[in-house]
Structure 1
Amino acid sequence: MSTLVCAPALLQQRLALADGSDPSEASDVDFDCSCKSNVSGKGPSFRVDKSGAGGARTSLAAAIADARTAWQYSGDPAPATIELAAGTYRERAVLDFPCRIRAAPGSGPAPTIVWETDAPYESTVVVMAPGTSIKGVNIKHRSPSVANNFAVYVMQGASLSVAKSTVTSQTGAGLAVEGGCLEMRGVTVDSCAGVGVQCLASIEGDAEGRLAMGECVLRGNGGGGLLARGGVQVCATQVDIEGNGGPGVQVADARVLTWQDIRYNKNKGGNIKKGPGVTGL
């Protein structure tokens, strides 16, 4: 299982994403928390371009299927890589193997993954494995449901690093982790119908949720900015929480290990709503 590490300020070389990004891409702002898995290295690589140029797959689903097969047969635990050319991909990304999805270098505006459906319980991105990451991608979602209504859903035992991306949901929360590990860097979660980010323990209660955020914006979300409860760990550095329809931050039964330079503005439910069992906040 992935582990969340909360440590003193790190050197810039150690601020690269847990997916093994080039350190030169890392922020020069101290980021005290990281969500790492024991999966590293470089696995098979695929490109997605609707034109099919250069042998690229023309759909994200095809690239995921081919990447999964190649990863399974490689015998190497290193994550597969999928590069998305600019464009809008109206598909789901269900990742049950270690995989990196990122904007293709030099292809133009950030690609967008959209899943809009009348069927319930269908997240745009579902993460079921450690060592998974998304970088430079816009994610949009609509799927009406009473529960598990998330644009991005990180399940028990899985880990996801998201960087330089935007997330929105017309019907629910932006990102949710339940008994897994989620790291966000340079992510904007904007105009979700529900909470911007949700961190919970597993449904069975036998695995804690873990969340690390740095240089993020939680803005204009109807249910509030951040919800953390159920015996979870949270680290946050340099986060703007503004204009949300509920509390900026709502926590209960949570360990806040790092909480630095958090800026609040015009959250209708107040800045912080704290329940029982909270430490560090």
Structure 2
Amino acid sequence: MLARPFSASVGACTPAKHQRNQIYQIFSDQGRRPRLSVVGCAAQRQQQATPPPAAGTEQEEAPGCVGRRSTLLASLQAAAATVLVHPVWAGTPGGKPDLVVGPGGDCATIGEALARAPSGAVIEVRGGRYAERLVLTRPVTIRAAADEAVEVVWQTPEPYRATVEAGPELGEQPGAAVLQGLRIRHSSPSIANNYAVRLAGCSVTLADCDITSATGSGVGIEGGAPRLLRCSIHNCQRHGVALFGDLLGDGCAAQLEDCTVVGNRLNGLLVRDGAQPAVRRCTLSGNGEWGLRLLDAGGSYEGNAIAANSRGSVGCSMLYEEVDTARMVVDNKLDRPVQFLGPKE
């Protein structure tokens, strides 16, 4: 579902142009190297677990009142008492696979199966721990065997090495490549572009996956229109999910539905540089900064629960975009008001 366009706050642009004003600005963000981003007119652009310490205030609450601080602390304490259980995928078999990975299967590793699989193949992975890095170069489906736990782990001293990576060679066809029912674990040094899953300019679908990074963000998306369905992104050292428009300024039409993004050290969901995601029925809570951080970006947000994040529910820095904050409040459950911030906050 594409969201409605947002109006531009500066400059002039007509729908007939279907292009941005060429306004170049160097952006630097927590967890991202400075890069040249093309931003501008927005006309016609479519559109949760150990929580960090609460950032309390020093002000005393009025006697007999339940203030914002105690409400936030109570929410965080409740989240801290919750034991995260990540069950095995209980999906349906979905037809006979082309290749089976694991004991008694066709391949010992997922990487071997990827090397052998033709475009459109279905790879089924039997339960176990697979220490390998997956680079998707053609359309395939990789799914956990029903009722079995499959953990894909990549721990390396080399920087910029995501556990799962997919790029524009996969094309923009929705659902061309699918990952389903996987537990994805990651550790790689560096800060910028450090993700457990990195999706750039493609339309990969992740469904029923459990994702965490010990050193970076859970999922990094740059352009394209990928989908995250019923995924849990938690306990990441940086952001849960980071969404960016592409280098040409054409935005990002990612979809997040029924996902849980909790207990990450920085923001639950960071959306910036012209990205226009559709985010529905997601839970963004217990994160160390904002549940949702918008920086020169828009999108549609419906039915989400955004609460118990240390800095607040939604923080906005709108340079060239406008967000309908009234609609944001009506369509979502927020425990604190939307706040407008400076670009570097």
Pick from 218, 227, 230 the counterpart of residue 174 of structure 1: 218
Cα separation, partners in 2 of 1:215 and 1:59, compared to 1, 3 Å: same
- Out of 142, 150, 160, which is 1:101 matched to? 142
User: Could you list the runs of 5+ residues in structure 1 that have no partner in the other structure?
Assistant: 8-23, 26-41, 72-78
CA distance in 1, matches of 2:97, 2:121: 5
- 2:303 matches 1:261: yes
After TM superposition, the structure 1 = structure 2 runs for residues 76-225 of structure 1, keeping only pairs within 5 Å, are 79-105=120-146, 108-128=147-167, 129-130=170-171, 131-156=176-201, 158-202=202-246, 204-225=247-268
Alignment partner of 1:47 out of 89, 100, 113: 100
Deviates more, 1:126-135 or 1:243-252: 126-135
Give the TM-score taking structure 1 as reference length. 0.76
Deviation at 1:206, TM superposition (A): 4.0
Q: Distance in 2 between matches of 1:210 and 1:195?
A: 19
**C-alpha distance in 1, partners of 2:305/2:313?**
9
**Displacement after TM superposition at 1:254 (Å):** 1.8
CA contact (8 A) 1:177 1:210 kept: no
> 1:255 aligns to what SS in structure 2?
coil
In structure 2, distance between residues paired with 1:89 and 1:56 = 15
* Amino acid across the alignment from 2:231: V
> Across the two proteins, how many residue pairs are aligned to each other?
229
Instruction: Give the Cα–Cα distance (whole angstroms) in 2 for the partners of residues 87 and 195 of structure 1.
Output: 27
How far 1:5 moved relative to its partner? 4.1
Distance 1:6 1:65 in 2: 38
Residue from 323, 327, 342 that aligns with 1:279: 323
Question: Which of structure 1's runs of 4+ aligned residues deviate more than 3 A?
Answer: 4-7
| Letter of the structure 1 residue corresponding to residue 185 of structure 2 | K
Q: Are the structure 2 counterparts of residues 278 and 44 from structure 1 closer, same or farther at C-alpha, using a change threshold of 3 Å?
A: farther
Which residues of structure 2 form unaligned runs of 5+?
Answer: 5-90, 329-345
Alignment of 1:18-97 (within 5 A): 45-49=98-102, 51=103, 53=104, 55-67=105-117, 70-71=118-119, 79-97=120-138
Bigger strand share: 1
Question: How large is the Cα RMSD of the aligned pairs?
Answer: 2.1
Cα distance change, pair 267–236 in 1 and its aligned pair in 2 (3 A): same
Amino acid at match of 1:57: C
Residue 38 of structure 1 is matched in structure 2 by none
2:116 partner SS: helix
Structure with the bigger RCO (C-alpha within 8 Å, sep 6+) is: 2
- What is the CA deviation profile of residues 91-121 of structure 1, one whole-angstrom value per residue up to 9, with x for unaligned ones? 001001111111123xx43201110111100
- Structure 1 CA distance for aligned equivalents of residues 2 and 306 of structure 2: 25
Quote the Cα distance in structure 2 between the aligned partners of 1:161 and 1:195.
20
CA distance in 1, matches of 2:107, 2:293: 42
**How much identity, in percent, do the aligned residues show?**
30
TM-score norm. by structure 2 comes to: 0.63
**Alpha-carbon separation, structure 1, partners of 2:253 and 2:238:** 20
Which one of the candidate residues 282, 290, 295 is aligned to 1:252? 295
Distance (whole Å) between structure 2 residues aligned to residue 124 and residue 212 of structure 1: 21
2:273 is the counterpart of 1:230? yes
Per the TM alignment, residue 182 of structure 1 is displaced from its structure 2 partner at its CA by 2.0
Shift of 1:44: 8.1
CA–CA separation in structure 2 for the residues paired with 1:187 and 1:278: 29
Structure 1 residues 125 and 150, CA, compared in 2 at 3 Å: closer, same or farther? same
SS at match of 1:64: helix
